[in-house]
Amino acid sequence: MKLVGTAEVVQGAKTQGYLQVGSDTDGTPFRIPVLVVAGAKPGPTVWVHGCIHGEEYGGAASIIRLVQELDPQHLAGTLVGVPVTNLPSFKAHSRISPLDGANLNRIFPGNPEGTYSFRLAHALLEAMATTADWVLDFHSGGIGAEVPFYAIYDDNGSLASRRAAWLAERIGVDTLWRSAGDFRGTVTAQAAARGIPAVTVECGGGNVTVEHEEQFKATIRNALHALDMLPGTAPVQPQYRIVTDGAFMFTGHGGLFVPACPVGAVLKKGDLIGRVINLYGEVVEEMVNPVEEAWIAATGHRYWPTEPGQLIAEALPVQGRRQASDFPG
């Protein structure tokens, strides 16, 4: 009998269980819910999780909803859904862990002897390594920021990285962040390092709109189409915008942030990203695009407060454009 945590994988059925990783400060075990949809026919296993950053709720909601909608009789292979991977951070509405202050998506592969977040990273990666052929990792701008719908893959030059790029081209997005080494502590990078193609999907932030939910759900369905696990065809765009590791913009002053462009905008060098005004209405800071051609991958919300040193926007350099790749063998 194959298990994912305590969830049995039963051909042609939906099952559930949990992964147990450590315990809360009062001794209550952390039981991370796991949903399994095992197809009537054999095929690969896709693992999809949300809430590595606990306050990015769109992924969790969409995984729960899509699992409810899927019919195992139509599926070839297995979908493993983990709606909320980081329970302490989820409960605290926080990007970082209230237990140890760690940003879970910067500390993979973790450490089984470390503080809770490090143990969690280690346990998650071990569970993926024994279960998953492909990984989808769902994120958003969190409570305080908005991001467009796009995908990220880690390019370490391996076959797993090329397969991640291939899958990222087929989930419905037109922009791919090819991360080339600045973020080696992410789950995506460390899954790729273990030979598992992994794609991060970014979408929305703050409230989970119907559109965000539909985009995340479409991502899973499209991945299943691309991998021949569900009947149907995955969308391929005429061209993909490739962006790369780039300028994270931090405010230098406190006040209210006023974005000057929507997320997903393409800006020339010197174009205005946003302003900070003080509580008298005076402009205390103007943030301009520092790179030749930038794609705006995140901004803070309009008129939300900001303090010095807060990450307020991401201006990712546009590296080029390309057509969809063939399946890397």
- What do you get for the CA distance between the two ends of the chain, in Å? 30
Residue window 276-295: x/- pattern of binding to Zn ion, with contact defined by CB under 5 A? --------------------
CA nearest neighbour of 143 among 81, 83, 208:
208
49 scored as a contact of Zn ion (CB under 5 A): no
User: At closest approach, how far in Å is the CB of 257 from Zn ion?
Assistant: 19
> In the window 122-161, what residues touch Zn ion (CB under 5 A)?
139
Cβ atoms of 51 and 89 closer than 8 Å: yes
User: At closest approach, how far in Å is the CB of 292 from Zn ion?
Assistant: 27
**Side chain identity, residue 220:** I
CA nearest neighbour of 89 among 126, 119, 57, 114:
57
CA distances from 88 to 6, 31, 38, 271 (A): 20, 11, 29, 39
Taking contact as CB under 5 A, which single stretch among the options 48-56, 59-67, 110-118, 176-184 is the one that binds Zn ion? 48-56
How many residues lie near Zn ion (CB under 5 A)?
3
User: At closest approach, how far in Å is the CB of 142 from Zn ion?
Assistant: 6
User: At closest approach, how far in Å is the CB of 157 from Zn ion?
Assistant: 25
Phi and psi at residue 177, in whole multiples of 5°? -90, 110
Taking contact as CB under 5 A, which single stretch among the options 54-62, 82-90, 238-246, 312-320 is the one that binds Zn ion? 54-62
Q: How far apart are CA 283 and CA 268, in angstroms?
A: 22
Considering Cα of 249, then 207, then 87, then 172, what sign does the dihedral take? Answer: negative
User: At closest approach, how far in Å is the CB of 56 from Zn ion?
Assistant: 5
For Zn ion, the binding residue among 5, 33, 51, 53 (CB under 5 A) is: 53
**Residue (56 or 314) nearer to Zn ion, CB:** 56
**Residue (139 or 225) nearer to Zn ion, CB:** 139
User: At closest approach, how far in Å is the CB of 53 from Zn ion?
Assistant: 3
**Side chain identity, residue 305:** P
CA nearest neighbour of 244 among 191, 312, 291, 187:
291
Binding site for Zn ion (CB under 5 A): 53, 56, 139
